[in-house]
Copies of this chain bind each other. A is one copy, B any other.
């Protein structure tokens, strides 16, 4: 079961919180421009933070469902979970549909 449920409020909270930090947005973009997958060490190398700090950012992103990971030998490969980003994009798309015009400011 990959993730059939996860469309609750908590998911939104986790994802938006994860995206709130510049370093984490940059992690996502970095992985994206690398083709969608990247080793933890490679990602950490991009930042001036201590690598342990990046590790935690990766864990937060994974907990939010924005990344998934798998060991490959002695390194861990993270890769982007587009579906989760789509969840948020769809939430935002709500607001692009013109709302009920019957209730304009009275």
Contacts and interface: CB of A to CB of B under 8 A. Distances in A.
Contacts of A77: 105
Mostly, the A contact residues are: helix
Contact of A92 (B88, B99, B101, B102): B88
A92 B95 contact: no
Nearest to A77: B105
A56 interface: no
A53 to B, nearest CB: 17
The 5 closest A-B pairs by CB, nearest first: A35-B103, A16-B20, A17-B20, A89-B92, A16-B19
6 contacts: A13-B20, A16-B16, A25-B91, A36-B99, A85-B95, A89-B89
